[in-house]
Amino acid sequence: MIDGAKGIENLVDRLAVDHILSREEFCYLLENIRPEQDGYLYEKARKQALASYGNRIFVRGLMEFTNYCKNDCYYCGIRRSNQKASRYRLTPEQVMDCCHTGYGLGFRTFVLQGGEDPWFTDDKIAYLVERIRGGYPDCAITLSVGEKDYDTYKMWFDAGADRYLLRHETANPCHYASLHPPQMSSAHRKECLGNLKKIGYQTGCGIMVGAPYQTTGHIAEDLEYMYGLQPEMVGIGPFIPHHDTPFGDRPAGTLRQTLLLLAIVRLMLPGVLLPATTALGTIEPDGREQGVMAGANVVMPNLSPLDVRKKYMLYDNKISTGVEAAANIKELKQRMASIGYEVVTDRGDFRKTLPECV
């Protein structure tokens, strides 16, 4: 179908120009790209990121405000069935303290992320959003609290939330069913993402690379789904096992697979806000720098209070006290500067119109 060594570079070139390939071509690219060709893809992706946003890295202050969760996802360390997880909730005052600290450190986006915790009713979350909106009118507020109905999402949007992160995890319904209990479905997840877009949120979807049972065919479907959704953000990190989950003995996703996908997503969605995730930094000490070199342009340091940080353990060995800690933003700035990038104090909104590029 596609001829020899030039085939891969031709596919990368075409992706950079057309921003889409067929499912078969995505599969071919993922299965046949040789390690010595990775650099060709990464460089194209990095150039696209530079053309879209310059050498600027946006930071988001992450507040993991509850690790209670009513869901039971097979891969996740804070799943309901994990009785060994030590549970916590932050009070509104603690959340406001995190914002205060974060603002002082230069953060202009606050991300409220948590498990699907029924104690935090829709009204309580709206209250948190209103408090942050009132105190920080110049900041973006991102929510990441799972699946809700249209009216709830709309209420939070009207309360002042700007963005919403909800990874679709996998676009393939059968694969989704192998990662989640029967009460959850890929169709509902996609419906939620559609509603978020409709309401006007800057919306983020995403996947774990190397999740159990994942095939290249699934990844090709994910890419096709993302292209159709046209999300403003995409969260991509390696799957990492958590020892107290059903997938505790599964292998982690690899650095290379994650970098390849980051680069492909950058070329497919040129203006997307693409974090170099904590999971990437967990499997490799300089994973996030490598992510930036493959087209990522966002990092999300942790603003949660120190004593709860170790409890938000989605996977084993999740890092939380190094440069991923918001308090160490100076070191993060130095590390990004060492690869030619500048961490900026900026809301870092999605850019609808991009300058002509590559």
- 155 or 240, CB closer to ligand 5AD? 240
131 vs 243, beta carbon nearer ligand 5AD: 243
Q: Which of 64, 117, 162, 169 binds ligand 5AD (CB under 6 A)?
A: 169
Q: Tell me the closest approach of the beta carbon of residue 25 to ligand 5AD, in angstroms.
A: 26
Least spacing, CB of residue 185 vs ligand 5AD, in Å: 15
229 binds ligand 5AD (CB under 6 A): no
Q: Which part of the chain contacts ligand 5AD (CB under 6 A), choosing from 55-63, 235-243, 260-268, 288-296?
A: 235-243
- Would you give the binding string for ligand 5AD spanning residues 104-143, x where CB under 6 A is met? ----------------------------------------
Long-range contacts of residues 95-98, Cβ cutoff 8 Å, at least 24 apart? 95/63, 95/65, 95/128, 95/131, 95/132, 96/131, 96/132, 96/135, 97/305, 98/61, 98/63, 98/303, 98/304, 98/305
With tokens 């009460």, the residue in question is 183
* Minimum distance from residue 173 beta carbon to ligand 5AD (Å): 17
190: left (phi over 0), alpha (psi -120 to 50) or beta: alpha
Binding range to ligand 5AD, per CB under 6 A, among 82-90, 130-138, 238-246, 344-352: 238-246
Stretch that binds ligand 5AD, among 62-70, 99-107, 181-189, 233-241 (CB under 6 A): 233-241
Query: What's the closest the beta carbon of residue 279 comes to ligand 5AD, in angstroms?
Result: 5
- 167 interacts with ligand 5AD by CB under 6 A: yes
Count interface residues toward ligand 5AD (CB under 6 A). 12
3-state secondary structure the chain: CCCHHHHHHHHHHHHHHHCCCCHHHHHHHHHHCCHHHHHHHHHHHHHHHHHHHCCEEEECEEEEEECCCCCCCCCCCCCCCCCCCCCCECCHHHHHHHHHHHHHHCCCEEEEEECCCCCCCHHHHHHHHHHHHHHCCCCEEEEECCCCCHHHHHHHHHHCCCEEECCCECCCHHHHHHHCCCCCCHHHHHHHHHHHHHHCCEEEEEEEECCCCCCHHHHHHHHHHHHHHCCCEEEEEECCCCCCCCCCCCCCCCHHHHHHHHHHHHHHCCCCECECCHHHHHHCCCHHHHHHHCCCCEECCECCCHHHHCCCCCCCCCCCCCCCEHHHHHHHHHHHHHCCCEEECCCCCCCCCCCCCC
Closest to ligand 5AD by CB, 189 or 333 = 189
60/242 with CB nearer ligand 5AD: 242
Q: Does 57 bind ligand 5AD (CB under 6 A)?
A: no
65 binds ligand 5AD (CB under 6 A): no
Paired residues of 206 in beta bridges: 235
The least distance separating ligand 5AD from the CB of residue 286, rounded to whole angstroms, comes to: 19
Distance linking the first and last C-alpha atoms of the chain: 27
Nearer to ligand 5AD, 16 or 98 (CB): 98
Q: Which stretch binds ligand 5AD (CB under 6 A): 45-53, 153-161, 185-193, 232-240?
A: 232-240
Among 315, 332, 333, 341, binds ligand 5AD (CB under 6 A): 315
Per-residue contact string for residues 242-281; x = within reach of ligand 5AD by CB under 6 A: x------------------------------------x--
75 lies in the site for ligand 5AD, by CB under 6 A = yes
Q: Contact residues for ligand 5AD (CB under 6 A)?
A: 75-76, 167, 169, 208, 237, 239-240, 242, 279, 314-315
